[in-house]
Chains A and B, each alone.
Chain A
Amino acid sequence: MVFLKKLHKWVGLLIGIQVLLWLTSGLMISLLDPAKVSGAKWARPAARAVPLPVENLLEPDELAVDLTRGALSIELKTTSGQAVYEIIRAGGASLINASTGLLLGFSRQDAKTLAQRDFSGDGGIDSIEKGMAPDMETRDHSGPYWRVNFKDAADTSYYISAGTGEILERRNNHWRTRDVFWMLHIMDYSGREDFNNALIITVSLTAIWLGISGFLLLFCSFNRHEFNFLRVWRKRDEVLVTLITTTTGDPRVIRLKRNSNLFLSLAGKNIDLPSICGGGGECGKCRVKIGSAKLFAANAIEQALVPKPLREQGYRLACQYEIKGNITVYI
């Protein structure tokens, strides 16, 4: 038990702040509304699939070989009323006009139209920028994109692929807040997505000892009488404790509950024994001399904190002492 306490407080000192960060970031993440974080709350439902146009379209074997080489899949579909081939390659997707066979690109104006069509929140477009490589907000994607910034309260930014016109991400301040807390939670301060990093593995392996020691200490921290909540009103459970202040020698008799902890019972009667640790059996300040017919053996904590000659004279730690019967306490 002495060892468990030591372990618990040293591990707590070492990583207590990170445990606080885990709980704070976890709480913040679960308070945020996922529909706001994903931007789905302000996204209009996707257009329903429409039958392909009947006019003559190019067959896949009529497309330029360069455009289809290495394709993992090809699909003919309709986007914005236009029949297109979507070509998926290992490196990403591209769109081909199914009537002309030409590679499609999406301009600033197209990106603006696509973003405005999807976004249902308040506020017009503030600015449009082009990005060539993924940044923190588009980290799951590749290829050039348009960033369309809205003037709404949540500073929404739409990311639209310059190659396929696909809405890559709908980012806003809810997402940005979550992302910072997620970074703190998984302790990946650069990429914010790898939770198998060496730092968090180390800290988690340390933290588990805080948990295990704390859990075991829980069993030694309570005695069964603490759960007998009705006892407060039961007069017959009381014992008489005679307090003698050694400096003045004045005796004083008080009633305390049988089987309760001496230190806490006295604190409950506004008699504050000297203590730094607050009754944890760590500072040894709450030392008192017990005068009783039957003195119980000192426990491991008392053996560590009360010198042997004093223990033999009847000195004990009040925070370790369970009142069993009428006693005299010299404080």
Chain B
Amino acid sequence: MIKRGNVLSRILHKWIGLVIGLQVLIWLTSGLYMVVVDLDFIHGDPLVQNMQRPIVIPDSSRVSIAALKKRYPNASHIGLRPVMDKTYYTVTTADSRYLVDPATTEVISPLAKETASQIAVFHFNGDAAVINASLITADPPMEIKTRRLPLWRVDFNDRYSTSFYIDPYSGRLVTRRHQYWRIFDFLWMLHIMDYDERSDAHNPLLVLTQVAGLAFCITGLWLLFYSFSGRRKRKLAEG
């Protein structure tokens, strides 16, 4: 049997490398992408504008909170928020949400396709045109897995394949996604080895592979010791 540390560590390093070498390379490559590409860019911060518009407090003689409470007796929240250049009332009840125009008392939610597209353009920092808008009511794509549906998805014809997601019941830009975000998300999935949800780093496959990775790394460091001590002794012999 193999007894010497130098021979044993070399054999172990080589065979563990055969099993998990590809995953180690994936860890290094995906890690490099996540580290090099700016996180604010990934979050799409440069793609949006008009995100912090102050509201205009409406005159309560036209539509009051009291009147809205009467109209929606189950309302748990009544608020004011901007949708593009105008301020609207928002009403939340146990089963639904409403956007109410404070000037006309008209309910404008759920927002139509055209309005959702206009909101998306209003928040989009660029000149690209909208190429598609669709209402997602079920089976959401991976990139909005955790979000509350329905949502309008508005796609732009820009170089990042940007998609804006607009809430039809509040007019809010819920989130934005683009090609580099999607790459990041895919690499994150590979990095944490959670191929279903892409979010759970507390999974047995990852733990197991990391234990093997640790053995891989330790045998490598062990080998390093032999590789470099050989060099010193050879130099001495030659000198």
* Partner-B contacts on A (CB < 8 A): 9, 12-13, 16-17, 19-20, 22-24, 26-27, 29-34, 49-52, 54, 56-57, 59-63, 68, 70-78, 90, 194-196, 200-201, 204-205, 207-208, 210-212, 214-215, 218, 221-222, 264, 267-268, 270, 272, 275-280, 282-285
Contacts and interface: CB of A to CB of B under 8 A. Distances in A.
B32 A205 contact: yes
Contact of A207 (B9, B28, B39, B221): B28
Given A30-B210, A222-B14, A75 B77 contact: yes
B69 A221 contact: no
Nearest to A75: B79
Closest CB pairs A-B (n = 7):
A278-B6, A75-B79, A283-B230, A276-B230, A49-B76, A59-B60, A211-B28
Contacts of A205: 32, 36
Contact of A211 (B6, B29, B81): B29
Interface residues of B, number: 79
A278 B226 contact: yes
A68 B200 CA distance: 41
Interface in B13-67: 14, 17-18, 21-22, 24-25, 27-29, 31-32, 34-39, 52-55, 57-60, 64-66
A285 B217 CA distance: 25
B223 interface: yes
A49 B29 contact: no
A289 B8 CA distance: 25
Given A56-B66, A278-B10, A279-B7, 8 more contacts: A13-B224, A23-B213, A26-B213, A34-B201, A90-B52, A204-B31, A214-B25, A277-B226
A214 B224 CA distance: 13
B134 interface: no
A208 B28 contact: yes
Contacts of B55: 71-74
17 contacts: A16-B221, A20-B214, A23-B213, A23-B217, A49-B94, A60-B65, A72-B54, A73-B80, A73-B82, A74-B80, A90-B52, A196-B37, A215-B25, A218-B21, A222-B18, A276-B229, A278-B6
